[in-house]
């Protein structure tokens, strides 16, 4: 039976994956207090996707790995690390910061993606990063049980897709879906670049327009 506990929530327009690093600038007083307690107590808080008036039902806990800078007005910069996924069972609004009764969960099976699929994901990630002029993290590696999270965290993917991956309980399925997504993303990006290049030549291939 999964554990249940009251977890402080930090709703943001971001999706955090288990094992992923996320820098944050904390400025709101209520979240300065919440994160400050997590630092002092070495405890976790829940990062959960919130867009406009809607909040997702699945998130990932975070622990503060490092305090980068503290400001005189109480703000601070931190680096967090994703820990474990959770599903919100019931919200609690008794305190200034939102809290929730949650259920932690893991993948339903230990099936890993096929080596060929993992290699394809890594190659596609490198191509997408190059096309978007994005630098992959120096520690970028997919030699992990949840390699799909590592790949997805390193790229600027749509939040809705990242949330879909976070909620998926099969690494094999996540990786297959990710490969399909990255292939289509690469095709769209390359097509956009071709249109932009054609626009610069005003439709005359090979001759740029001054």
Domain with CATH 1.20.58 in the chain: 115-200
Residue 103's beta-bridge partner residues?
4, 87
One of 3.40.720, 1.20.58, 3.30.450, 1.10.1660 is the CATH number of 115-200, namely: 1.20.58
Task: Look up the pTM and report it.
Answer: 0.86
**pLDDT tens digits for range 170-199:** 999 999 999 999 999 999 888 766 656 655
Q: What is the pLDDT of residue 112?
A: 84
CATH 2.40.128.120 fits 4-105, yes or no: no
Expressed in angstroms, the distance from the first to the final Cα of the chain is 68
Domain with CATH 2.30.130.40 in the chain: 4-105
Alpha-carbon gap, residue 127 to 186, rounded angstroms: 7
Count CB atoms within 10 A of the CB of residue 52. Answer: 6
Count CB atoms within 10 A of the CB of residue 62. Answer: 26
**pLDDT tens digits for range 81-113:** 999 999 999 999 999 999 999 999 999 877 888
Q: Pick from 176, 170, 182: which is nearest to 145 by CA?
A: 170
Mean pLDDT of the chain: 88
Torsion over CA: 14, 20, 23, 28 (sign): positive
**pLDDT tens digits for range 97-155:** 999 999 999 998 778 888 899 999 999 999 999 999 988 876 666 667 889 999 999 99
**pLDDT tens digits for range 31-57:** 999 999 999 999 999 999 999 889 999
Q: What is the pLDDT of residue 53?
A: 82
């Amino acid at each position: 039976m999964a554990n249940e506990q009251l977890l402080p929530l930090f709703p943001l327009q971001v999706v955090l994956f288990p094992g992923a690093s996320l820098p944050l600038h904390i400025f709101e007083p209520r979240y300065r207090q919440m994160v400050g307690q997590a630092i002092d107590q070495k405890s976790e808080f829940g990062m959960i996707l919130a867009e406009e008036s809607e909040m997702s039902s699945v998130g990932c806990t975070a622990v503060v790995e490092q305090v980068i800078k503290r400001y005189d007005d109480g703000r601070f910069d931190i680096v967090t690390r994703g820990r474990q996924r959770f599903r919100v069972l019931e919200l609690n609004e008794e305190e200034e910061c939102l809290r929730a009764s949650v259920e932690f969960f893991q993948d339903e099976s230990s099936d890993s993606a096929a080596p060929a699929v993992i290699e394809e994901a890594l190659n596609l990630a490198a191509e997408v990063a190059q096309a978007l002029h994005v630098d992959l993290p120096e520690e970028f590696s997919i030699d992990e049980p949840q390699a799909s999270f590592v790949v997805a965290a390193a790229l600027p993917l749509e939040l809705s897709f990242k949330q879909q991956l976070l909620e998926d309980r099969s690494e094999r399925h996540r990786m297959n879906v990710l490969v399909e997504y990255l292939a289509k993303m690469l095709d769209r990006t390359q097509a956009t670049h071709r249109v932009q290049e054609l626009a610069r030549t005003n439709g005359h291939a090979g001759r740029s327009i001054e």
